[in-house]
Structure 1
């Protein structure tokens, strides 16, 4: 029987592939037959399987090293997935965000995707086919002003850029789609919930509920698992999604209260 989804032989670059949804995506793509190159600032001691390059994608030189690795490893690319993202900004609202903090948020959450696209999409256009997936966030429409204004703004910029890019390259055979997760966590091992539980003297489940309350509630009653986000990414990268481009696909357990 033909499998529902196959990525057999596809050449894929997945950024941020050593933890969370990125690691789950790397693992799934390998199961589905893709040839995978992934990257992060440091290689975990227990990492195995996919090809790996250490690179700081917040820098131009780091991006170039990944581009060079793609050419050396694959000679081109079929699938480009930018999972990289995060925030280290302090709490305290807009006034706590210095120019340096703003620069860091965009350097991590926006510019790596822009620079990799600029370097790697031209070869996709030459071959007349390719898929680009940008992992954004529901915070592009549901920011948390106490702590994520910078992160949310960078993801909103990525969202708008992705839409514009899709209108430019889709007629030439390259699909561009966005995956916007809400809270992603492995049950029982989420660092944020564990830290809150310890600091507040509450159980892990109570800490999870506290986080969900801060988000306005998650109707599904739990965060998404990394593997669930990977499943969505794999579908969108596959031929099963051949007519899907220019769209945003939310996976948030119903967190965003509007359609």
Structure 2
């Protein structure tokens, strides 16, 4: 039996759609018949046909304005917004190494990009009486790693709280708001991290992965999540099949978080 997500012809914006989870989301939605616009700081040479790529830095107010303008120009409106973009460039060494510029960078990328994109696009969804926005948070909002991700984790926690508040406001107006909280996902960046750790420890890639999993306290599933697995969850959540789901968070972490 074919499980039709009923997404054919819908219009979507995916931020950060050229690598990792974002690229997997773009592919999953495109394969389901969605008209997709996506963002990256640089448009890749290798592109999915029929997907519209916007070169913009959504960690800036100007970049978010550019994206919103192109979305309306290219699609005439939007039915779903998936805020995937995120990450951390903070140095290791704990809280004392995080100056104001680092904090601002982490907040701009992981919180304000979603806030600004929503502010630009949700009014049109409210006006049409339907839509859904997904905020990709992180299990680090519950499981922060003080050596290197304090600012990132705090920004994702803020994103989660913002998302919950937004859902209370806009769901009565027809717009669903959902959070997806991945654990460690085997993206290009994650592979590079595991390879670096493996080289430092004199082990192979599997050994490097184990180092990361050990730092997280272990992953009961025994492996990282695949980007396509996160994308499949998101594709379901933005579909009419998930029409009663709003204001909540879906953790996809292989069992990493050890508490209820």
TM-score (norm 2): 0.97
Matched, 1:164 2:165: yes
- Superposed, 1:212-223 pairs within 5 Å as 212-223=213-224
- Which digits, 9 at most, give the CA deviation of each residue in 1:3-56, with x for residues without a partner? 432310010000000000100000010110000000010112222321101001
* Secondary structure in structure 2 of the residue aligned to 1:5: coil
Q: Once the 2 structures are TM-superposed, how far is the Cα of residue 97 of structure 1 from its aligned partner?
A: 0.3
Q: How far, CA to CA, are the matches of 1:200 and 1:237 in structure 2? A: 42
- Which digits, 9 at most, give the CA deviation of each residue in 1:121-161, with x for residues without a partner? 00100110000000000011110011000000000000000
CA RMSD, 1 decimal: 1.4
- Superposed, 1:1-259 pairs within 5 Å as 3-49=3-49, 50-185=51-186, 190-259=191-260
* Secondary structure in structure 2 of the residue aligned to 1:110: helix
Q: How far, CA to CA, are the matches of 1:159 and 1:235 in structure 2? A: 20
Q: How far, CA to CA, are the matches of 1:197 and 1:165 in structure 2? A: 42
Unaligned runs of 5+ in 1: none
Contact map agreement 2:21 2:187 (CA 8 A) in 1: no
Q: How far, CA to CA, are the matches of 1:5 and 1:80 in structure 2? A: 16
Q: Once the 2 structures are TM-superposed, how far is the Cα of residue 186 of structure 1 from its aligned partner?
A: 5.0
Q: Once the 2 structures are TM-superposed, how far is the Cα of residue 234 of structure 1 from its aligned partner?
A: 0.3
Q: Once the 2 structures are TM-superposed, how far is the Cα of residue 118 of structure 1 from its aligned partner?
A: 0.6
Q: How far, CA to CA, are the matches of 1:6 and 1:207 in structure 2? A: 40
- Which digits, 9 at most, give the CA deviation of each residue in 1:63-82, with x for residues without a partner? 11000001101111100000
* Secondary structure in structure 2 of the residue aligned to 1:176: strand
Matched pairs, number: 259
Q: How far, CA to CA, are the matches of 1:231 and 1:48 in structure 2? A: 18
Q: Once the 2 structures are TM-superposed, how far is the Cα of residue 2 of structure 1 from its aligned partner?
A: 5.9
